[in-house]
Chains A and B, each alone.
Chain A
Amino acid sequence: MSSTFDTVANIIAETCDIPRDTIKPESHAIEDLGIDSLDFLDIAFAIDKAFGIKLPLEQWTQEVNDGKATTEQYFVLQNLCTRIDGLVAAKGA
């Protein structure tokens, strides 16, 4: 069974046509991989489907806009994967 990171990295590679080997846990989806907000909707859709969750993108965006969080907290892939794991665990609780 592949890890959360592997699943997310494969989704990003396929959705955005980014070479898989350039996608690292420490990659920032926006700043390092150049993924824009529209492409990220495709990624969010694929992640939602793959994990049976609903990424709270609006809440995250609001927190970043309000200065309550940084984009690194949500869009560095290892942090994103931690949050996905949390949402999956919460769903099963």
Chain B
Amino acid sequence: MRIEYFQLIDRIVALDIGAGTICVEAVVPRESTIFEGHFPGHPLMPGVLLIESMAQTAGWLVIGLTRFERMPFLAALKEVKLRTFVTPGTSLSITAKLLHDGSGYAITKAAIEADGKPISDAEITFRIMAFPDASMRLAMEETAARVGFPMQALADG
């Protein structure tokens, strides 16, 4: 993770387009300027960033469903639960599954675990839209390479 740059996913571990599931790894850094303020002397991973990490995980699943033709944008959150504190250095396993592939939107369910224990979960809705421009699509493809997006999964799905 480089949380200052919103890089909250380290590696995609598994992606099954046909089944509509994804699993990623993410390790909370031991040091970050964010921890200087959240909270002084008591560093905790901000809950909003845990939510963002679930949104990014589910987002990779949805962008895969579109074959990188369109972009999912976070639209709504439901039933968000932040079950316990996450401290620097924690290894997270984040999963998401597709609940519904709608027309121009998708609804997913995502969850975070650490050492098999539930950390957070949420239902996440995305609007699916055209990329605003070619540069954003290119940036997403570059990010996909960084996190090991398995392009073969697109062919298999």
Q: How far is the CA of A45 from the CA of B101 in the complex (A)?
A: 9
Q: How far is the CA of A55 from the CA of B103 in the complex (A)?
A: 7
Q: Is the CB of B104 within 8 A of A61?
A: yes
| Chain A 11-53: CB-based contact to B (< 8 A → 1; otherwise 0) | 0000000000000000000000000001001101100110000
| Total chain A interface residues with beta-carbon distance under 8 A | 14
Main secondary structure of the interface of A (DSSP, over half): helix
| Chain B 87-107: CB-based contact to A (< 8 A → 1; otherwise 0) | 000000000000011111101
By a CB distance below 8 angstroms, the chain A residues around B107 are 45
- By beta carbon, the residue of chain B nearest A57 is B103
Q: Which residues of B contact A (CB under 8 A)?
A: 75-76, 100-105, 107, 125, 127
A-B contact pairs, 22 of them (CB 8 A): A38-B75, A41-B75, A41-B76, A41-B102, A41-B105, A41-B125, A42-B76, A45-B100, A45-B102, A45-B107, A45-B125, A48-B100, A48-B102, A49-B100, A54-B102, A55-B103, A57-B103, A57-B104, A57-B105, A58-B103, A58-B104, A61-B104
